[in-house]
Amino acid sequence: MKPSDVPYVTRDIAGTGGRMRAQIDDFRVDEIPLYAPSGSGEHLYVTIEKRGLSTMDAADRLARALRLKRVAVGFAGLKDARAVTTQTFSLCGVDDRALDDFAADGMRVVGVTRHRNKLQRGHLAGNRFVIRVRDARPGSSADAERVLAVLAKRGVPNAFGEQRFGRDGQTHRLGRALLEPRAEAFVAILFGCGDVAREDALRRALDAKDVDAVRATVGALGRAERYALEDLVRSGGDCDAVVRRFDKALKALYASAFQSELFNEVLRRRFREFDRLIDGDLAWLHRNGAVFVVDDPRAEAARVDAFEISPSGPLVGSRMTWPRAAALELERSVLADAGIDDAALTRLPLPGARRPLRIPVTGVECRADGADLVVAFALPAGAYATTVMREIMKTESVDSAVSVDE
C-alpha cells in the first residue's frame, strides 16, 4: 500500500474514469483571498493570470521585469505550473503605472490595486478549481453529482497525496530514518533510490565503511545526493557526518513526509468515523484552526454536523499537543507500530502540529460537456484538489501533482 492510499468515502458510487489535466486549460485554479486590499498602501497588489508557470517562476519574472529584489515580491501560496491560475502578487516600491506595458510569455495582468502590507504565505482563504475530465464514462455526470453531494455533507478526507512523498515515494522513509540512532539507514535509502536490493547492498557496504563498494552500488543521484556522496567519500564512510552536513531544508521536507505518512495512517484507522468525534479528541475549529479537548462527543455532535468543528489528527513532533482517552490510544498505537517512541520524536526536526481529518468542499458544480465532465469546487488553503477528484474518478492514477498552499 502506498503511503497516500486511503479508502473511498463514496465507495458505493461508481467512478467516472477519464483523464485529468490532458491539457493546460483542463485545470484552472483561482485564488480566494483572505482579505480584500484596502486600495492604498506601499505595496502594489497585482493579480496575474498565468499559464504553464509555477508561482516561483512568475515571481522571478516580475522581479526581473521591474528590477526588484526577489524579496520584494510577495505571494500567499504556491501554485503548480501545469494549470491556468489566477494569483495575486505584492510588489514593494513599484509605481502604479509600472505594469502598464508589462508583457511576458504565459502571464497576463488582470488587476492592480494597493494594500498596506506585503502578501505572506498563508494570506489565503482557499482556491476555486475548475477541472475538465476528458473521456469520462458516458452518463457518469449523475454519479459525479452524487459523489459531490456526499462530500459536501460529510467533508473530504484530508489525506496527504502522492506528491507529498516524492517522485519515488521514498521521502517518508528518509524522514523515518532520521529518527534512527545510526545514520546508515538514512544514507542507504538516500542512495538506493527506491531499490530494496540496492539498499541492502548499500547497508552492508556502509556498515563496513567500504566507500568504493558504495560508489559502485548507488543509483542515479540528484544534486543533493551527489553532494552527500562526496561528503561520504571525504569522511571515509562517516554516515553521521553526511547527515549532519545534509541540506537542512531537505531534511525538514523528509521529516514532514514522515509526519504525513503517520497522519494518513491515523486517518485510515478511523476512516469510518473521520467525520465523527471520539472520546478525548482534539476538535479542530475551522474558523481559526484552534483545537480543544472533547470530553463528551455527543455534546459536540451538532457542531460537527454544521462543519464548525472536526476531529484532528497528528503531525507528530516533540512539542505537539496530544489528545486524550480513546483518541490518544489510537494515535499512540500508530507510533508504536512504526517503532517510534518519545525519545525518537526529539530527533525529528519539526515541532509538530494538529491537522483536521476532513476539510469542507463548497460551491460544487458538475456538468457534462460532450465526452468530457467539467467539475468545479472550492477548498480551503492547504487542501489538495485530488482528494476530491480521486473520489469522483476512482482511477488508479489520478494526477496528484497539483497546487497546494501550505
d(CA 20, CA 393): 9
Look at residues 63, 96, 121 and tell me which one is the last residue of a structural domain: 121
Q: pLDDT at position 402, please?
A: 45
Whether residue 261 is contained in a domain is answered as no
Phi, psi of 84 (to 5 degrees): -100, 120
Q: What is the DSSP letter of 195?
A: -
Half-sphere exposure of 153 (CA within 13 A, CB side): 7
Q: Say whether both 299 and 245 belong to one domain.
A: no
Mean pLDDT by runs of 10 across the 406 residues of the chain is: 88 96 94 95 95 93 91 91 94 88 88 94 94 96 97 95 79 93 94 91 95 92 93 95 94 94 97 96 96 97 97 95 97 95 88 96 96 96 90 77 46
Last residue of a domain, one of 218, 249, 280: 249
Domain count, the chain: 3
Identify whether residues 291 and 243 lie together within a single domain. no
At position 223, the amino acid (one-letter code) is R
| Domain, as residue range, for 87 | 35-121
Residue 5's pLDDT is what? Answer: 86
Q: Say what the pLDDT of residue 161 is.
A: 83
CA distances to 37, 163, 358 from 118, in Å:
11, 29, 31
User: Domain boundary residue among 106, 121, 136?
Assistant: 121
CA angle 344, 348, 349 (to 5 degrees): 155
- Please choose, from the candidates 73, 87, 77, the residue with its C-alpha nearest in 3D space to the C-alpha of residue 29: 87
82 close to 401: Cβ distance less than 8 angstroms:
yes
Residue 197 lies in a domain: yes
Kindly state whether residue 101 falls inside one of the protein's structural domains: yes
Catalytic residues: 80
Tell me if 303 is assigned to some domain.
yes
Q: Note whether 45 and 94 are same-domain residues.
A: yes
Q: Specify the pTM.
A: 0.86
Q: Does residue 114 share a domain with residue 43?
A: yes
User: Position 232: which residue type?
Assistant: L
Whether the Cβ atoms of residue 395 and residue 406 lie closer than 8 Å to each other: no
- Residue 1: predicted pLDDT: 77
Contact yes or no for 379/361 (Cβ under 8 A): yes
DSSP 227-285: HHHHHHHHTTS-HHHHHHHS-HHHHHHHHHHHHHHHHHHHHHHTGGGTTS--TT-EEEE
Do residue 93 and residue 50 come from a single domain?
yes
And the C-alpha cell for 220?
542515479
Q: Are 26 and 132 in contact (CB under 8 A)?
A: yes
The pLDDT value given to residue 397: 61
- Do residues 143 and 340 make contact, with C-beta atoms less than 8 angstroms apart? no
Is position 293 within any domain? yes
Question: Do 206 and 176 sit in the same domain of this protein?
Answer: yes
In whole angstroms, what is the distance from residue 93 CA to residue 43 CA? 7
CA 129 to CA 286: how far, in whole Å?
20
- What does the pLDDT read at residue 104? 83
Predicted pLDDT of residue 398: 63
At residue 67, what is the residue type?
Answer: R
Q: Is the dihedral of CA 386, 405, 361, 5 positive or negative?
A: positive
